[in-house]
Amino acid sequence: MCGIFGYVGKRDNGLELVVKGLQKLEYRGYDSWGVATELSGELFIKKQVGKISEAKLEDFADKKTGLAIGHTRWATHGGVTDINAHPHFSSDKKVAVVHNGIIENYEEIREELGRGNFISDTDTEVIPQLISKYLKEMSFKEAVQKTVQRLSGRYAIVAIAVGENLLIAARRGSPLIVGVGEEEYFLASDIPAFLEYTQNVNYLDDNEMVILDGNVEFLNIDTGTAIKKRLVNIDWKAESADKGEYDHYMLKEIMEQKDSILRAINQNTDDIMHIAQMIKDSRGCFLSGCGTAGKVCMAAEYFFSIIAGRHVNYAPASEFPIFHHFLKPESLLIVVSQSGETADVLEAMEAAKGKGAKVLSIVNVESSTIARQSDFSLHIKAGPEKAVASTKAATAQMALFLLITTAMKGELQEGRRILAEVASRTNDMLNPRFLNYIKEVTQKIKGHDNLYIIGKAENYPMALEAAIKIQEVSYVHAEGFAAGELKHGPIALITEGTPCISMIANDEVKSDVINNTIELKARGAHIIGISPDKHEVFDEWIKVPDVGVASPLVNIIPVQLLAYYLGVLRGLDPDMPRNLAKSVTVK
Ligand code: F6R
């Protein structure tokens, strides 16, 4: 939610650099944007409604500065207007701030400072106003520290003040990373934003502040004590975070799945065995995540049952804390998150830790908050995922659960063999003819407003995931059902020509799903069968490889493509669905 970028250093095109950095963070928010710096002893602020990708670098070419901040917004408090866009500034125009998160006690601070002094509807505006108030009595550093000590909620902020040639940032609950270059520093919500300048980073942790001028100084917000940080080298290539030859990140990331699934095989054996043992040793094992990651957890429930013969419970992270009654010190919570920053997941973890339970996380962003707050964390190594719709992270997460569950059964090598086959057959499947065929199928259904998906066993969660993909990038009403549940209500929705996707594997429930598909067809549905084998009930057959229990990994890929093409054919930008952002750092 919202992207932040800050620069201080040797270059004099700080504003251009911040705009370019924000453009790489656009996936975090794209309803408005803004930048701020000091020019000729005064605050310069430009902010407006619109996408940061539409900002023109040449507008900033004549504004020379080696220090600037910027923000791309996903609105929470206050509508999408120029005034509500960040940076926000103090009434005396001495302090400007960008912020990601939510300040929960902003009403009380507004009251204290006088409501008439505020010009926006945001929670953020209290921050520069408070800093400016304190700045009259103390140094900039002390003023920021005193301000953030008063804030409740989750936040990452960066502040500048007139006459102070430095950036001050603070975090609690929202991500912020320091990029360390030669005679220059970057601050961003996510690493790819500054990857072309440096691969060396310091992670800012909760309750920490950083002061950046020519040097870097970390300190604890509450005590003011200095903190020593480890410099971490990130081995992502800058180009791996770019679109390359593709029109959209979503398509690029779908196509990368052959590699990302394969990378799961190279996970360290000791780590996988350690996790398998943690699960075996636990008394009460739970799975949690949000959205797509939650559907991965549901698929994992089936892997645990079918492969490892173990019962594991899933609850969406936003619901998980309600089940705290069942948690004990011997319990284990496994959380799944691409970004590693999702607020609901962090709350689920807090609930588990509150009962003394252990937390294992499976994340795509190494050293993310979730990873660092876990007892053990496994990095899925899918590479940067920029499209809002999660694709390659989801299949890589499922691949890891396949490895973990086969390891629990004492058959890790077999798990690796299955995944090698999935990766190679995914590579074969993702050929231009296959993509064209999916596009043709999509053309036929693009005018429909409702679409239903069914699946059974490990493909039931994929039916739910398929619905998420279609909803978020095409805005078509899509719903997934357990195939056997149709006759208990949803079948009433089917009329002549209603497109229905049936996700089938060559498993013991195949004939049940075929029968349910025949029931749909009998009510007039237009059937799109995703299956290794052709069946006469299908109006369209999307052939997928037969990979046994790993079928969710290959069955979801054609739906990812179908959702992508549906979005494109309906004139939408699949990378930037309305109302959504990549990393959901608010509750
Ligand atoms: C949908 C999607 C979301 C995320 C969810 C959790 O395509 O991407 O549903 O899966 O917001 O995000 P992470 O995995 O970052 O915790």
369 pocket-lining for ligand 1 (C-beta < 6 Å) = no
Residue 62 CA to ligand 1 centre (angstroms)? 40
Number of folded domains that form the chain: 3
Residue-level pLDDT at 391: 97
Domain shared by 298 and 418, yes or no: yes
Answer whether 345 contacts ligand 1 (Cβ < 6 A).
yes
Ligand 1 centroid from CA 393, angstroms: 9
Residue nearest to atom 8 of ligand 1 (CA): 390
- The closest alpha carbon to 315, from 290, 332, 351, belongs to 290
Residues 148 and 43 in one domain: yes
* 3-state class (DSSP) for residue 295: helix
> Backbone phi, then psi, for 233, in 5-degree steps?
-95, 125
Q: Whose CA is nearest to atom 5 of ligand 1?
A: 291
Q: 582 C-alpha vs ligand 1 centroid, how far in Å?
A: 7
Residue nearest to ligand 1 atom 7, measured at CA: 389
503 and 380 in a common domain: no
φ/ψ of residue 502, rounded to 5: -115, 120
**Tens-level pLDDT at each residue, the chain (587 residues):** 689 999 999 999 999 999 999 998 888 888 999 999 999 999 999 999 999 999 999 999 999 999 999 999 988 888 899 999 999 999 999 999 999 988 999 999 999 999 999 999 999 999 999 999 999 999 999 999 999 999 998 899 999 999 999 999 999 988 899 999 999 999 999 888 999 999 999 989 889 999 999 889 999 999 999 999 988 887 766 556 678 889 999 999 999 998 899 888 889 999 999 999 999 999 999 999 999 999 999 999 999 999 999 999 999 999 999 998 999 999 999 999 999 999 999 999 999 999 999 999 999 988 788 999 999 999 999 988 989 999 999 999 999 999 999 999 999 999 999 999 999 899 889 988 999 999 999 999 999 999 999 999 999 999 999 999 999 999 999 999 999 999 898 999 999 999 999 999 999 999 999 999 999 999 999 999 999 999 999 999 999 999 999 999 999 999 999 999 999 999 999 998 887 777 776 67
Counting atoms of ligand 1 from 1, which one is nearest the CA of 583?
15
Measured in Å, residue 293 CA sits from the centre of ligand 1 at 6
The answer to whether 51 is a known catalytic residue is no
Locate the DSSP E strands across 162-284. 164-172, 177-180, 184-188, 200-203, 208-212, 216-220, 226-227, 232-233
258 is catalytic: no
Q: Verify whether ligand 1 is closer than 6 Å to residue 467 (CB atom).
A: no
Cβ neighbours of residue 304 closer than 8 Å, sequence gap 6 or more: 285, 310, 311, 312, 401, 405
291 lines ligand 1 (CB under 6 A): yes
Domain match, 276 and 195 both: no
Q: Would you state the pLDDT for residue 239?
A: 52
**Is the same domain home to 342 and 454?**
no
User: Which residue blocks in 430-497 are alpha helix, DSSP H?
Assistant: 432-445, 460-474
User: Annotated catalytic residue: which of 295, 456, 469, 582?
Assistant: 582
Q: How far is the CA of 337 from the centre of ligand 1 (A)?
A: 7
What CATH number is associated with residue 104? 3.60.20.10
Residue type, 177: I
Last residue of a domain, one of 411, 430, 449: 430
Strands (E) across 258-328 are located at 285-289, 313-316
CATH of residue 559's domain is: 3.40.50.10490
What order of strands is seen across the sheet that includes strand 164-172? 88-89, 95-103, 153-161, 164-172, 208-212, 216-220, 226-227
**Whether residues 203 and 80 fall in one domain:** yes
Alpha-carbon dihedral sign for residues 230, 173, 382, 353 = positive
Residue 483 and residue 417 share a domain:
no
Q: What's the pLDDT at 130? A: 98
Do both 259 and 371 map to the same domain?
yes
Query: Which of 74, 248, 253, 292 to mutate for ligand 1's pocket (most ligand atoms within 8 Å of CB)?
Result: 292
**478 pocket-lining for ligand 1 (C-beta < 6 Å):** no
Q: What is the DSSP string of 368-414?
A: -HHHHTSSEEEE-------SSS--HHHHHHHHHHHHHHHHHTT-HHH
Neighbours of 515 (CB within 10 A): 12
Separation of CA 102 and ligand 1 centre (Å): 19
User: Do residues 315 and 288 lie in contact, with contact meaning Cβ atoms separated by under 8 Å?
Assistant: yes
* CB atoms near residue 495 (< 10 Å): 10
DSSP 584: -
Q: Distances from the Cα of 306 to the Cαs of 203, 277, 278, 434, in angstroms?
A: 39, 18, 19, 31
Q: Which two tokens stand for residue 162?
A: 């007139």
- Do 408 and 470 share a domain, yes or no? no
Question: Which residues, in sequence order, are CB contacts of 184 under 8 Å at separation 6+?
Answer: 7, 8, 9, 10, 11, 197
Q: 473 and 514 in one domain?
A: yes
For ligand 1, say whether the CB of 405 is within 6 Å of any of its atoms: no
Using a 6 Å cutoff on CB, does residue 293 contact ligand 1?
A: yes
Q: Which of 251, 266, 301, 246 is nearest to 557 (CA)?
A: 251
Domain final residue, candidates 377, 410, 430: 430
Residues 146 and 261 reside in one and the same domain? no
> Which residues span the domain enclosing 345?
243-430
On whether both 355 and 499 belong to a single domain, the answer is no
Residue finishing a domain among 220, 240, 260? 240
